[in-house]
Structures are given as C-alpha cells and as structure tokens.
Structure 1
Amino acid sequence: MLKAFCTALGMVALVTTASATTAQASPASGDGGVSIIAQASAQASDAIELAPYQLITVPANGRVSCFNYGGTFKVGTYVYKVDWATTSDECFGIGPDRKIWHAWPNSGGWKQMPGGGYADHIATPFLENTDPRSKYRRLAVYTQSSNTFWCQDYILPAGWDGIWYACG
C-alpha cells in the first residue's frame, strides 16, 4: 500500500511503494497551492500514478462551479478538478468554514467529505492506483494551525473511508 509522508508546506519527504522508494524535495509550484512533489517507482501490480488535475481559482465572491454544481469556497484557495484514470473525474474544494467538499458527475451537487475534516488547503499530487481492480486513491489536505497534512483513502467497494489520518 502506498504511504505518503510529508514534512512541511510545499515539501515532500518520502513516498514508498511495496517494491521501491524514491523521494525528491521541491518547493511549491508558485501558484499559491500546497504541493507535495514526489516520484515513486512501482511494480506493474502496484501501478501508483499521479492523477492529473486542473486548478480552478476561487474568485473574490467565493463562487465556483464544477460539473455544473455551484458552491461557495474559501477565497484565496483553489478548487481542484481531478482526472481519475479508473473512475469519474472529481472536484475538491475547501468551504469558507474550512469543511472539505467534493463533487463528481451525477453526484447531485457538492457533498461534504466523509469524516468531518477541516482544512485550509487541498494538497497535491493526487495519488491513484490505476489497477482497475483496486481503484485506490488518496486525498491530502493541509491545516495551517497544526502545520500538518491529513489524508483520506478511497478503497473499493466502500469509496472514501471517512478516516482522516496525519500523513505529514
């Protein structure tokens, strides 16, 4: 199973897989987002990928639409539209109350992430096991007050597991 350990805002310490370990520390990309820059090698059966994403800047009024679902988000952050390889794309954002929200096609609107987490920023990259049997993925968020990254996992058949755990 993939574990991402993060050290501080904009830095990565280590990414491990069952077969190999590599790491690269790098500053954030300069877009104002929180980045975890990493490289990992894996066996074919452990096909961990960095899912591509699109940044949507939250404007001064806080209103952002994704998949035609409007929501209000924390000004100064981004909504991330993630292109998952194994399932529908998904958007993630932080509300003005710091709650973590997500939406996907045909979700009926924005839904609060299970587990009742709070954050200041969504962290990147978005990790995914592209083996269609697993559909495993990980979301990381950052909280400034504790200077901590928190992660939640998506594992079939249940989906997002609702358990936020410190991953940095």
Structure 2
Amino acid sequence: MRTMTLLLAGALALGACAAMDRFAKPETVGNWVITKNGESGPGCVATRQFVNPNSQVRMGINATSTPPSGYLAIYVQGYEGIKPGQSIPATFKVGERVFKGTFTGQNQAGFGGAVVPVDNTDFIYSLGNYDAMTVTYDKDHRVIVPLDDVDPAIASLRACQDSLTK
C-alpha cells in the first residue's frame, strides 16, 4: 500500500512539473506562438506574424496589475512615414469596442509599434468571439487581423497564464 501511495504521489508531482514546463519554450498553436513574458508579470502572450505589411500582432496578459489586465499590440516593419521616437495615434477595434493608443517609431528605421491596454483578462480570453481586429494608425494605414483561428491559441494562452499563478 505504501509503495502504491508513493508511486501515485510521484506521478502527480511529475504531472505538475510537466504542466509547468509546457511553456518553458514557445508553443506553436495554429498560426500563433504562445510564450511567457517576464516583463508583464510574468504574464503570457500570443503572437502571430503577418506579411503585407510585414507585421506582428500580440495579445497578452499583464500580471503586473491587480487584478491582471490584458493588452493588444502591433509592430509593423516597412512603415517609412515614422521616425524613431515619433508618435501617431493608433486605434484597435474589436467588435464595437475601441481601444486608443499611440503608434511609436522604433529605433530601427521604418519600424513602428503600438500597445494598448484592455480593461481585463476576460476580454483577451473572449477574442475568439470576434471575426477580426482592425488596427488603424496614421491617416490611411490599416491592418485587419483575422481572429477565426484564435480559439485554440486563447486556450493555450489561458493554460500558460494559469500555470504561472499556481
């Protein structure tokens, strides 16, 4: 009986370690990559690469706030109209919700990015309920991010974040 109890306890401990190690390296889920982000808590982030324009979209959890909140971000390469440090307005629209932020030129010429906070993690976890996210910056630059494949990535993002809080 004692041997069986020790084996069961050992199996449970190994299972817990495996769950924690699951996100030790980036995990690819469809078109999204889920990683831990030490700067946000630690929190977890889902990232997707796009071309035309060459860009990267992120949705993540900011665990530095109480309670934790979420954020949306975009980084675009090849935008020559912005100098490093220069800022222009940016808008992220998901369904009827609009989040305003600032698109700022990065140190690498022709590269800019914007990050906007969202009020809670539930909004990030519900992104699968929407068809697309539209990011607009400057007067006529728009990136439409399809969200039709985001459900498995959101599930993985939630599992990643849960593994950090246990």
Instruction: Name the TM-score, length of structure 2 as normaliser.
Output: 0.30
- Structure label with greater radius of gyration: 2
Give the TM-score normalised by the residue count of structure 1. 0.30
